[in-house]
Amino acid sequence: MDTYQFALSMRTALYQCGQVARALQGQVTPENKAPDSPHQTSTEVSVVDRLCQEILLLRAQEVAPGVDVQSEELADCPPEILALFDRGPHRYALILDPLDGTGEYLAGGSRYGHMLGLLDQETGRMDCGMIYFPAAFRLYLGVRGRGAWVQDGLGGDLRPMPRCAPPRTVEDVKRLRPEDYGAFRRLGFGVVPPESASAAYELTRVAEGDLGAMAMRHFHGHDSAISSVIIEELGGLVVVEGGAPVRYDAGMPRMPLVVLSLDPEYAQGLAETLGA
């Protein structure tokens, strides 16, 4: 599969999700789903999550029907849509988070996004990742072996993302352990607060070089997977406890620890220390 052409073909669907989300913000009824584990603290969901999921799936079926499908709200997807995809197993899995930062969205915030990617199930690595922030009309795109780009505006050009030297900072993300903060101090990292409730937004801060690293404990795989290829294409590193390279499963289960940084030394040091 030409993953770059796949990504270009999926841009319009992300824009459509953004237009739906912007038009309906403040008009939808907040809902709550049952937590999937004791680690889950954010249970907000809405009809916008489901609508965006359907938009992305319908377009993906036209572009790449021969993929497996994993989405955060897949249990609520109409079976008629899922039936459009060829029966697997397939090499690639389409990974969707139709509305990342649902709590932010429902609260009237602007730092929510729509994201998708392609997982190579033979390697366990993401070959493509796309994140779109509709309030800013900004799209991030990474394709393994090809590069990472950013686009501003619905009709803007894709511009190569620069590789920036990040500060020695780590985010005070949920589910960190008390002893993690001591490890940060010993390693010389400053701890900074998050700017949003969206994992996608926070990880683009890592990709932009505004934030040094994120150490994510017990997050679902899709929370870091789609951003991982963007960060890696910029020369960064994404690792699990002990410093081993990350490998994702198509089911995107929660992972004990994933560390992401543009600076491989930051990522390796944090993963080895926090995973000890």
pLDDT digits (tens, 9 = 90+) for 120-165: 999 999 999 999 999 999 999 999 999 999 999 998 999 999 999 9
Same domain, 153 and 222: no
Same domain, 189 and 148: no
Same domain, 81 and 153: yes
Q: How far apart are CA 167 and CA 170, in angstroms?
A: 9
241: tokens are 């406890």
Q: pTM of the prediction?
A: 0.95
List all residues 6 or more positions away from 237 whose beta carbon is below 8 Å from its beta carbon: 231, 245, 260, 261, 263, 264, 267, 268
Q: How far apart are CA 35 and CA 81, in angstroms?
A: 25
Q: What is the CATH number of the domain that holds 257?
A: 3.40.190.80
pLDDT band at 43 (very low <50, low <70, confident <90, very high): low
Question: Which residues form the domain of 203?
Answer: 169-274
Same domain, 44 and 80: yes
Domain boundary among 143, 160, 177: 160
User: Around Cβ 131, how many Cβ atoms within 10 Å?
Assistant: 27
Q: What is the CATH number of the domain that holds 43?
A: 3.30.540.10
pLDDT of amino acid 37: 65
Same domain, 178 and 263: yes
Q: How far apart are CA 206 and CA 16, in angstroms?
A: 26
Same domain, 180 and 105: no
Same domain, 226 and 150: no
Task: Count Cβ neighbours within 10 Å for each residue of 138-150 and write b for 16 or more, e otherwise.
Answer: bbbbbbbebebbb
Same domain, 26 and 138: yes
Q: Say how many domains are in the chain.
A: 2
Same domain, 134 and 176: no
Q: What is the mean pLDDT of residues 174-181?
A: 96
Does 188 score more than 70 pLDDT? yes
Q: How far apart are CA 13 and CA 40, in angstroms?
A: 29
